[in-house]
Structure 1
């Protein structure tokens, strides 16, 4: 199958991919708001959004801060108990940190729930 046509079929994701194919990435931990902020303070990160039935949406690194302030932070769930009505547009993200082999920037995966 062409990786450009790959869509998320279920959550949580078990792997990450780009248009070039699967990444050698490992899920490390679930993130809360403060953990995301700490990763952003430490250096470059890559955000990716997963929504069932859709391709992964990679946020350009230069847009990471604006994306986080505008979209990520307001939609982030910090506990297992979440009520969609408590979030803008009835949509919530669950965040996790992924490492990539080769010393690349960490990835923050935001899995959509609505």
Structure 2
């Protein structure tokens, strides 16, 4: 997807959710969204070594380091996880009025990836 501008994809920001593609510091990542997921599936994927990617509009994608995944899940996401396929998000139901919608993506180079789209 060369646009000829030589944009540094590492600095590319999220402009909207739901995401239609993933990228990292080296450029687009060959990945496709599989399905929305909930608590049990995230825990299973984490145990299997899946990576977490956080998407927050206005910021670059954040790929969590392997060592940070469980703490981030436990401290930040677990009590702010929206149910899969929920019709409407009521931010007031979550601590600090924000939540995450989780989806599983299949990534050619990394295997399954957990994408957390932040809503606030």
Settle same-fold status: TM greater than 0.5: yes
- 1:37 alignment partner, one of 22, 43, 46: 43
Pair 1:97-2:104 in alignment: yes
Deviation, structure 1 residue 82: 2.4
Secondary structure of 1:66 counterpart: helix
- 1:113 alignment partner, one of 102, 113, 119: 119
TM-score using structure 1 length = 0.92
5+ residue gaps, structure 1: none
Equivalences for 1:19-34 in 2 at 5 Å? 19-34=25-40
5+ residue gaps, structure 2: 1-6
Larger radius of gyration: 2
For this pair of structures, how many residues does the alignment match? 112
4+ runs of 1 displaced by more than 6 Å? none
TM-score using structure 2 length = 0.87
d(CA) in 2 for partners of 1:2, 1:69: 32
Equivalences for 1:1-114 in 2 at 5 Å? 1-41=7-47, 43-78=48-83, 79-102=86-109, 104-114=110-120
Secondary structure of 2:111 counterpart: coil
